[in-house]
Amino acid sequence: MFHRFANPTRFLKLADIIQPWAAGLTLAFLGAGLYFGLIASPSDYQQSETVRIMYVHVPSAWMAMFCYTALAISAAVGLIWKHPLADLAARATAPIGAGFTFLALLTGSLWGKPMWGTWWVWDARLTSVLVLFFMYLGYMALQNAFDDPQRGTKASSILALVGFVNVPIIKFSVDWWNTLHQPASVVKMGGPAIHSSMLIPLILMALAFKAYYIWVMLMRIRGEVNAGKIRALRLRQVHGGAPTNTNLNKEAG
């Protein structure tokens, strides 16, 4: 019981230091990324101004997969080592990942209509990302489907791990199947295949999204730690403040 509370307390102290930096970096990268993305970068010779959708679409898609990977790792650590903070990190990551996955789908659709002539196709890349979005929603729904939060965490963690299979499928879907979606052009052998004038805003926006993730995730972990304390206090109230082990420890210390 002691390490349960000691750990989050130490962690929250660290979060107090990191959070303002993450917030500042988010705003700085976002400002620079928007400037380079919307103003200081050229339009594409084939795609004209729609190429600017790339600066939000690609980082959103990267975050969709990054967040799910972080979620699956946290869920695994929580399951195997019963680390309470890992469970909270997974819980805090899910809504952010779902948000970015939604954005990847929506901005992709807005880019697809003028360039492909369609909002949506049921091809491997688009479908597997839609499945990813439902994995996030399923994870969050399952977590809250149990009266006992620990059972909810366990069940949803297992779901998150099973669903991780989808992440490599998304990554390689453009190579394994015929698709309207273009293959990777930034992270590839022999260096990125896009010009630096377009790579700079792309990287800046990606950094902004990553800093934003750290910022908001730390906020949500803080909320989850508070919620856990509230639950513990409520339980004690229900039991009429009977001197349980935790009470004794607290009063003795």
Q: Interface with other proteins by CB under 8 A: which residues?
A: 38-39, 43, 48-50, 52-53, 56-57, 60, 95-96, 99-100, 102-103, 106-107, 110-111, 113-114, 212, 215-216, 219-220, 222-223, 226-227, 229-230, 233-234, 236-237, 240-241
What is the 8-class DSSP label of residue 38?
A: I
Which one, 125 or 222, has the nearer CB to other proteins?
Answer: 222
Measure the CA–CA gap between 215 and 243, rounded to whole angstroms: 39
Nearer to other proteins, 187 or 242 (CB): 242
Q: Which two tokens stand for residue 81?
A: 């080592």
Q: Is 27 exposed, middle or buried (0-12, 13-18, 19+ CB in 10 A)?
A: middle
Q: How far is the CB of 172 from other proteins (least distance, A)?
A: 26
Asked if 79 contacts 157 with a C-beta cutoff of 8 angstroms, the reply is yes
Q: Which is nearer to other proteins, 39 or 252 (CB)?
A: 39
The rounded Cα 22 to chain-centroid distance in angstroms is 15
| Position 101, amino acid | T
Least spacing, CB of residue 47 vs other proteins, in Å:
9
Q: CA 221 → CA 101, 178, 213, 249, distances in Å? A: 20, 41, 12, 25
User: Closest approach of Cβ 191 to other proteins, in Å?
Assistant: 27
Nearer to other proteins, 102 or 146 (CB): 102
Shortest distance, position 190 Cβ to other proteins, whole Å: 29
